[in-house]
Amino acid sequence: MTIRSYGRQSREQILAAAQTLFAERGLHETSMSDIATAAGLSRATVFNQFGSKSLILDALTARSLQAYGDLLDQALAAKATAPDLLRQLFRQMAQGLEANRAVHREVFGEIRKISMGLEGEGESPALRRLAYDRLVELMRRGQASGQLDPRRPAETLATAFDSLLAGAVTQWLHGPDDAPLTPMLSDLAEVLLDGIAVAKTD
| Residue-level pLDDT at 201 | 55
CA angle, 14 then 51 then 118, to 5°:
105
Is the pLDDT reported for residue 1 higher than 80?
A: no
Residues 163 and 85 in one domain: yes
Residues 77 and 144 in one domain: yes
| Residue-level pLDDT at 184 | 92
199-to-81, 164, 194 alpha-carbon distances in Å: 13, 21, 9
pTM, full prediction: 0.83
Residues 102 and 164 in one domain: yes
Neighbouring C-alpha atoms within 13 Å toward the C-beta of 118 = 7
| Residue-level pLDDT at 5 | 43
Residue 17: which CATH number? Answer: 1.10.10.60
| Residue-level pLDDT at 6 | 54
pLDDT digits (tens, 9 = 90+) for 2-26: 334 458 899 999 999 999 998 888 8
The answer to whether residue 8 sits within a structural domain is yes
The answer to whether residue 147 sits within a structural domain is yes
Residues 38 and 76 in one domain: no
Residues 82 and 114 in one domain: yes
The answer to whether residue 119 sits within a structural domain is yes
The answer to whether residue 10 sits within a structural domain is yes
Rounded average pLDDT over 90-100: 88
Residues 117 and 32 in one domain: no
pLDDT digits (tens, 9 = 90+) for 22-62: 888 888 889 999 999 999 999 999 999 999 888 898 888 88
Residues 19 and 76 in one domain: no
Mean of the per-residue pLDDT values of the chain: 87
| Residue-level pLDDT at 106 | 75
Residues 8 and 97 in one domain: no
Residue 189: which CATH number? Answer: 1.10.357.10
Q: How many percent of the chain have pLDDT more than 90?
A: 53
Residues in the chain: 202
Identify which has the larger pLDDT, 22 or 113: 22
Q: Give the domain extent around 24.
A: 1-51
Identify which has the larger pLDDT, 194 or 202: 194
